[in-house]
Structure 1
Amino acid sequence: MTSQYRVNYHLRAHKRDNLIEFIKGMLLTPFVLHSQPAPAQLPDGTRENNSSSGDDNSRSSPEEEANAERYAGIFSNIELLINEHRELMQQGIPSYSRLARLVPSIGTFFTALPLEQAFRHINKNNKISARKYVPPSFNDIRRILNIAQVMAIAEGLQLVTFDGDMTLYADGQNFEPDSELTGLLIGLLQRRISVAIVTAAGYGADAARYEQRLAGLLRGFADAGLSAAEVGRFYVLGGECNFLFRCRADYRLEFLEDSQYTSSELRSWTDAQVQQLLDVAEAELADCVQRMGIRARILRKPRAVGLVPSDTLTREQLDECALSSQVALLKFQGSPKSQPCDVPIPFCAFNGGGDCWVDIGNKLIGVRIMQELVASPPAATLHVGDQFLSTGNDISTRAACCTCWIVNPEETRGMLTELDAILDQKQEYSD
């Protein structure tokens, strides 16, 4: 039984986020022992029906309020663990922190996280503490972490980078002209915050292809009459980190040669090295097609190779292709126990939702290019994406900046709306 559990755990490991799982476990105790809220009793002795959880006038029972305080206390204690971890990171001994012992894979926190405040904010509308049968979930905690990060970074924010598909627009689609995200992105640019779309889509130096995908957004810039300085803060970085464009005053994208920005790491890779790595990836994807009986095309690009299925594949099949490619490329570069970021030529092998791609370079390099270009430190940089599992291509950015993990463009809109409200509030105070 133990060995079977171990096998199952390792099979699931690429679908887990250890910090979120840790917080879920901490919140499970008060849920199991105390989550029995009853409807509030009105003066006439009847019970109030709080079915409309978003109503600000709805009452909370004493039991629910007590349970909310228990949850809030746990988030407060996790804040303390994070603060201790950050202090020990500054001393160069992060592995000595209590959080590192509890969650050995924990990474870097570039800001403090006001988790208790974020929980209270979300609980006010979603009534997590009122639930009797559904404990705080992965998505609940993910959203709380997102809001906490937005609260923490808002005041000093200088750069926001976004994934494309499933973050700003539907998978494989274009940025719609009527998207509510247009106004929110314009608002960032007008606040002198740089915005970059860091996407896996690799069309080389062909600006027209990227303009086609982003036509709705670029048209929104024109309709809003953004100045040259404002649109000059908008960038597109394609192929994870390989093809950089900047928006011109005429609302068109201009390709920037490597020599126009700092990319010494990219320029150190020879074409022969890149093609050799892609040969290995292509062979591994071909093997996946053969052994799993997949009907698919394998597409080769200058700095990427991908598997595009003829039929819809399951998530498990795509994960298998991504993980197989990761292992093959790590072995080829002599570091089978390393991470894709820690080898001579970093790469990204990821499940794209409907396909699987292997890109030379990754979004960690892409975000760092943008940080150097606009002089934004990690604590002032926020990356927003939907692929933060180990088979995703956003996870590497956690080593370079703060992050928000969303699952669709609607969540991106909600997150940016929260950010906009916080920035407005801070501006009112400063005025």
Structure 2
Amino acid sequence: MTTRYRVEYALKTHRRDQLIEWIKGLLAVPFVLHSQPTVIYQNHSEGLKTVAADTHQRYAEIMLDVENLISDHIHHEAAALPGKSKLKLLVPTVGTFFTALHLQEAFNYQDERRCISRRRFVAPSVKLVTFDGDVTLYDDGKNLTPSNPVISRILRLLAQNRKVGIVTAAGYEEAPKYYERLYGLLDAVHSSSDLTESQKEGIIVMGGESNFLFRYDRTQECKLSYVPREEWLLDEMNAWKEDDIKELLDLAENALRTCKDALSLPAAVLRKDRAVGVYPVNGVRINRELLEETVLVVQNTVERSAVGARLPFCAFNGGNDVFVDIGDKSWGVRACQRYFNGIDPGKTLHIGDQFLSAGANDFKARLASTTAWIASPAETVDLLDELEAAVGNNSK
């Protein structure tokens, strides 16, 4: 019962993105009104085309209305009048938009290809693209091998003088560990005759969400070298105290051990410099509900503590483990922006697969950049191709 209660708690309205839920509510009306019985598809193809056209128009009108509300919201924030926009009144939890969202244009484009809009159109003025690792660049628990089609797309970004950051939860402190996960990409960058040395240096790896930075280094066998923290830490991160870090990790470790024992998890506890977690032993798969239960218990325990109020952290389900990291991906993306001489959030795109509010470590990246929510490495490839097409059309 405890697990069911906690999982259902995580799915309640206040745990969801209220803007997305509001837009879904707007779209639900024409969806229901224009839905047809299965027989329509079998016997009335011309009528179906008419219904589809009407539905498309209704969806497009709604997207334009939302687009205008967002533009008004951006205008109010720029005029130092936060909280005064109509959108803020309709969706009190709505946050900051770093770019205008051309939702009607995006819907028309996506509807032509997929018959329904599933993501927002990304502005083509992207200077920095950051990626999650597992499920975004490669399958969960796998490596970025030379045959992965995303490699050619990332090389294309670098050739266009865009910067690339891989912001991963993997909290290794040694460069060779990251090379093992990313060797296909790093070797391709190293051997590329199309990229200049300056362009090759446009790729970095941020590990442990926001704790360890590595730059491309052609002189190293692993193609990466460690970047000292003083070269990229944000001012706020400099204020994080080591005593607080230890206290938070101690608290999280105790909560993890309690869950391990209470839920009989076939797992071991691993303590790192800036993280602590539980991972499976002997290659077993841990039940998803047990992982979610553990995330919610640890997150609630730390959030209610004094140190949890002072220090940012991220508790997340990694697919077959649970970890708590100091900081989160909003800090990781912002640190990448600073490392590349202060790239604007509105010209940054973070691509990841975990954007649910509970136990998802890409969620906080929305505080630092425009984001794209994908569900597989194949979708990442498609998204990068769409971005390239948008850039090409914009330059004509």
- Please, which of 321, 327, 349 is the counterpart of residue 361 of structure 1? 327
- Counterpart of 1:284 (choices 255, 260, 273) is 255
For the 8 Å contact 1:263–1:369, the answer to whether it is kept is yes
SS in 2 for 1:383: strand
- The answer to whether the 8 Å contact 1:108/1:398 transfers is no
Decide whether the 8 Å contact of 1:228 with 1:248 is kept in 2: no
Shift of 1:7: 9.7
Alignment map for 1:96-107 (pairs within 5 Å)? 96-107=84-95
Corresponding position of 1:12: 11
1:333 aligns with 2:300: no
Secondary structure of 1:237 counterpart: strand
- The alpha carbon displacement at 1:111 in A equals 0.8
Map 1:192-271 onto structure 2 (within 5 A): 192-204=161-173, 206-225=174-193, 226-250=195-219, 252-271=223-242
**Conservation of the 8 A alpha-carbon contact between 2:7 and 2:289:** no
Aligned pairs, how many? 383
Give 1:66's match in structure 2, choosing from 54, 72, 76.
54
The runs of at least 4 consecutive aligned structure 1 residues that moved more than 4 Å come to 6-9, 37-41, 46-49
**2:337–2:344 Cα contact (<8 Å) kept:** yes
Match of 2:21 in 1: 21
Aligned to 2:348: 381
Q: What's the % identity of the aligned pairs?
A: 40
Aligned residue number for residue 312 of structure 1: 285
C-alpha distance after superposition, 1:345-386 (max 9, x if no partner)? 211111112211000111111111111121201111111111
- Structure 2 distance, partners of 1:169, 1:250, is 26
**Match status 1:392 vs 2:360:** yes
Match of 1:402 among 352, 359, 370: 370
Q: C-alpha distance in 2, partners of 1:208/1:75?
A: 47
Shift of 1:319: 2.0
* Contact 1:35–1:64 under 8 Å retained in 2: no
Amino acid at match of 2:94: I
TM-score, normalised relative to structure 1:
0.83
Match of 1:182? Answer: 151
Report the Cα distance in structure 2 between the residues aligned to 1:25 and 1:366, rounded to whole angstroms.
33
> Within the alignment, does 1:157 sit opposite 2:121 as a pair?
no
1:340 paired residue number: none
Find the aligned partners of 1:60 and 1:386 in 2 and give their Cα distance. 34
Superposed counterparts of 1:74-85, under 5 Å: 74-85=62-73
CA RMSD of aligned residues (A): 2.5
Extract unaligned runs of 5+ from structure 1.
1-5, 50-58, 129-139, 336-342
Partner of 2:160: 191
How far off its partner does 1:15 sit? 6.2
* Distance in structure 1 (CA, Å) of the matches to 2:187 and 2:85: 49
Q: Is the 8 A contact 1:35 1:67 kept in 2?
A: no
**1:86–1:94: 8 Å Cα contact kept in structure 2?**
no
Deviations along 1:200-247, whole A, 9 cap, x unmatched? 10111x111111111010122134222211111000011111111111
Letter in 1 for 2:378: E
Secondary structure of the 1:348 match is: strand
Displacement of 1:82: 1.1
CA contact (8 A) 2:169 2:209 kept: yes
Identify the range of structure 1 (188-197 vs 241-250) with the bigger mean alpha-carbon deviation. 241-250
Q: State whether residues 247 and 307 of structure 2, in contact with CA within 8 Å, keep that contact through their aligned partners in structure 1.
A: no
Could you tell me whether the CA contact under 8 Å between 1:234 and 1:246 is conserved in 2?
Answer: yes
Secondary structure, counterpart of 2:304 in structure 1:
helix
Q: Secondary structure of the residue that 2:148 maps to in structure 1? A: coil
Tell me if the contact between 2:119 and 2:372 (Cα under 8 Å) persists in the aligned partners. no
Distance verdict in 2 for CA 1:236–1:11, change over 3 Å:
closer
Specify which of 289, 309, 313 is matched with residue 347 of structure 1: 313
In structure 2, the partner of 1:295 is: 266
Give the Cα–Cα distance (whole angstroms) in 2 for the partners of residues 78 and 264 of structure 1.
36
Q: In 2, are the aligned partners of 1:36 and 1:64 still within 8 Å (CA)? A: no
| CA offset digits 1:34-87 (Å, max 9, x no partner) | 23499899xxxx9659xxxxxxxxx97222111110111111111112112212
Q: Which consecutive residues of structure 2, in runs of 5 or more, have no partner in the other structure? A: none
